[in-house]
Amino acid sequence: MKRIMFVALVVGLLFGLSNGAHAQSCSASASAISFGSVSPISRNAVSTTGTVIVTCTWPAITITPNVQVCLNLGGTSPRSLVNGANQMQYDLYQDAAHSLAWGSIYFGTTPISLTLTKPGLGTTASTSATIYGQITANQPTVPTVGNSSTTYTQTFGGGTTSINYGFFLIGTPSCASLTSAAGTFAFSATATVVNNCNISATTVSFAATGVLSKALNATGSITAQCTNGDAYRIALNGGATSNVAARQMARSGGGGTVNYQLYVDSTHTSAWGDGTSGTATATGTGTGNQQVLNVYGVVPAQTSPVPGSYSDTITATISF
């Protein structure tokens, strides 16, 4: 009887190990990679992070308490977020320094590797890996569509991602040796390209004169840089007079004024104002690069005021 009971116990133990070997498995899930709002004309790199969570399960009794997990992400580097035919370069990295791109053994690049160990109590262990995303700097011409914020995206899953793993007792297997995929995980990377503009101006400086018996001309400039595809309008206020149709420069220290006007065209037919009192505004569509608009100034012939330095301050407002 003792020998029969001993044999039955050994058979039962071997049966449990066999079933347990098949109960070992791992899975992965990834969060979305969101860059939020991006202004290409800033020319800055934009960074964000995401997370991949890996969960592995063992049977209650196992002779392989460790597992090497490899997360593969296929495709070329750098990657592209797209909207129709428009693209914006970026990449996904394994480190905060953005020096090691997330890759795949199937593309000859480096996957993410993680090692998990079965807990002393329980049969499940989880860990996470941080994904570091960065949009490449100096892409000012990435456009918006329809003159509004535009979403760029890239979706992963199916044939582009895989989780490969190998359970072991000693001797960690390399990712290159784990060539059989045991599943996939889906996620997406997105960025919203927004309309944005920068504006700067130079002085309209008239030459010194003794009398104003004839008109004086001078040219300045306004430089606009707007998101590619972004329609914009530039208005000029009335300066000290608050009257876009009748501007005046005032003498430093007081005691005199000089009439003048600013125009959008070199023929001085359209006064540049805010669209009221017969004035025009300057309009355009951004290219992502700087666009220079000339400001044409005229001091008409008039009674010469007291000698001195005359000036006015005009505010340019860009709407987009």
Q: List Cβ neighbours of 75 (8 Å cut-off, separation of 6 or more).
A: 104, 107, 160
On whether the CB atoms of residues 111 and 173 are closer than 8 A, the answer is no
On whether the CB atoms of residues 200 and 176 are closer than 8 A, the answer is no
Q: What does the domain layout of the chain look like in residue ranges? A: 22-193, 197-319
| Cα–Cα dist 113/133, whole Å | 18
| Cα–Cα dist 92/98, whole Å | 8
C-alpha separations of 201 from 91, 100, 119, 220, 230 in Å: 37, 43, 66, 8, 20
SS3 296: strand
Q: How far does CA 93 lie from the centroid of its chain?
A: 15
Query: Which CATH architecture group holds 197-319?
Result: Sandwich (2.60)
| Cα–Cα dist 218/171, whole Å | 80
Number of H helices, E strands in the chain: 1, 20
**Predicted local distance difference test score (pLDDT) of residue 23:** 82
My answer on whether omega of the bond before 119 falls inside 30° of 0, hence cis, is: no
Report residues of the chain scoring pLDDT below 70: 1-22
Sheet containing strand 79-83, edge to edge, reads: 25-30, 46-57, 124-135, 86-93, 79-83, 150-156, 187-193, 33-38
- Single out the residue of 66, 61, 28 nearest to residue 172, CA to CA: 66
Q: List Cβ neighbours of 6 (8 Å cut-off, separation of 6 or more).
A: none
Question: Does the fold of domain 197-319 match that of domain 22-193?
Answer: yes
Q: What share of the chain is helix, strand, coil (3-state, %, to 5)?
A: 10, 45, 45
On whether the CB atoms of residues 116 and 78 are closer than 8 A, the answer is no
The CA radius of gyration of the chain, in Å to the nearest whole number, is 34
**Predicted local distance difference test score (pLDDT) of residue 258:** 98
**Predicted local distance difference test score (pLDDT) of residue 14:** 27
Give bridge partners of residue 59 from the DSSP assignment: none
Q: DSSP string of 215-284?
A: -EEEEEEEEEEE-BT-EEEEEE--GGGT-TTSEEEEETTSS-EEEEEEESSTTS-SBBSSS-TT-B-EEE
Element (H, E) at 29: strand 25-30
Q: Which fold has domain 22-193?
A: Immunoglobulin-like (2.60.40)
On whether the CB atoms of residues 65 and 154 are closer than 8 A, the answer is no
